[in-house]
Homo-oligomer: A and B are copies of this chain.
Amino acid sequence: MISESAILNCFQHLVDLKKDDLVIVGSGDDAAVIKSQGKDLVHSIDISKVNSHFPEDSKPQDIAYRSIAVALSDLAAMGAYPAFISIGLTSNITDLKWYKQFTNGVEKILNEYQLKLVGGDITNGEISVCVNVFGYAYKNNILRSTAKVGDLIYVTGPLGEGRKGLEDWKNNQQSKYIKKFFNPKVDFNKSEYISKYANSCIDISDGLIKDLTRICKSSEVGAEIIYENIPITNDIDDLSCGDDYKLCYTCSPEFKDNEHISEDFCIGEIKSDTKIIIKKDNSPVNFKKHGWDSFE
């Protein structure tokens, strides 16, 4: 019979922390104690659920990696670097091997981003990973609510790669995109760079249109987008599919020739009229679906 303590043992090597600058009390007590960094804490929480956010037969290491990566993406969108995480895992798997593989995925991403796992909880039920991420601003936090009329709108990479990866995986078709879905990369270097210049930023997790709408609503502005300038992977539905985890930011045109801004994709401009217009062949396109919603 499996037990909570047997499962927790699988995680032990990840939290057997030497005393260090960050973690005063790690795993094994009622709570973790994290040393004061004297800096404002940036915190986000993200739930990834089986059959909503990843397929049921995903590899456990991919479930772990992906759930943590998509949570980290929120920190990048704030102009913040990650420092530590905690995980609330719900699982009904009774094979300890599954948990060992899950911890391999956790370990991989902890090493990749130099993060500490400071704590967690585990309970029995349909697989769901609740990831808490914690970090600190590189310079200033980049908010959703501070886009300015006249700002250029950028995306940091192609849309629809995750969507294509998931389709290829479902069709048993080998492709470079599968890794984009299961192991998305979060570009903290870019986040650090643009935190000096961008007026607003969001990560594209629920689809470009939906997420850009969030910036526009928060900032009380609108946007005009040129469809032909958007780097897509599949078709126009890439604008309303989730799973991209690229950044969408707005920035004054004076910075458009800056080294790391000029390499991004300028897709449009912030306007004062509070509508989002997407022009294809110079005519506005209508979208029935703006993006991903787990309840719809």
User: Which residues on A are within 8 Å of B, measured CB to CB?
Assistant: 1-5, 7, 24-25, 28-47, 49, 52-53, 74-75, 77-78, 80, 86-88, 90, 94, 118-126, 128, 130, 132-133, 137, 141, 143-145, 201-203, 218, 293-296
Query: Do the beta carbons of A49 and B123 come within 8 Å of each other?
Result: yes
With beta carbons under 8 angstroms apart, the residue of B1, B43, B120 that contacts A31 is B43
Give Cα A42 to B154, complex, Å.
38
CB-based closest 10 A-B pairs? A31-B44, A130-B130, A30-B77, A124-B294, A30-B74, A88-B130, A34-B41, A47-B123, A31-B78, A47-B88
Whose C-beta in chain B lies nearest to the C-beta of A143? B29
Query: Do the beta carbons of B88 and A25 come within 8 Å of each other?
Result: no
Q: A30-B144, A49-B125 are in contact. Are A132 and B86 (CB under 8 A)?
A: yes
Query: Do the beta carbons of A4 and B88 come within 8 Å of each other?
Result: no
Query: Do the beta carbons of A4 and B293 come within 8 Å of each other?
Result: yes
In the assembled complex, the CB of A182 is this many whole angstroms from the nearest CB of chain B, namely 19
Query: Do the beta carbons of A294 and B123 come within 8 Å of each other?
Result: yes
In the assembled complex, the CB of A99 is this many whole angstroms from the nearest CB of chain B, namely 11
Give Cα A116 to B7, complex, Å.
32
Query: Do the beta carbons of B43 and A128 come within 8 Å of each other?
Result: no
Knowing that A28-B145, A36-B37, A86-B132 are A-B contacts, what are 12 other residue pairs whose CB atoms are under 8 Å apart, sorted by A's residue number? A31-B43, A36-B41, A41-B41, A45-B88, A45-B132, A46-B88, A46-B121, A47-B123, A49-B90, A121-B130, A124-B295, A132-B132
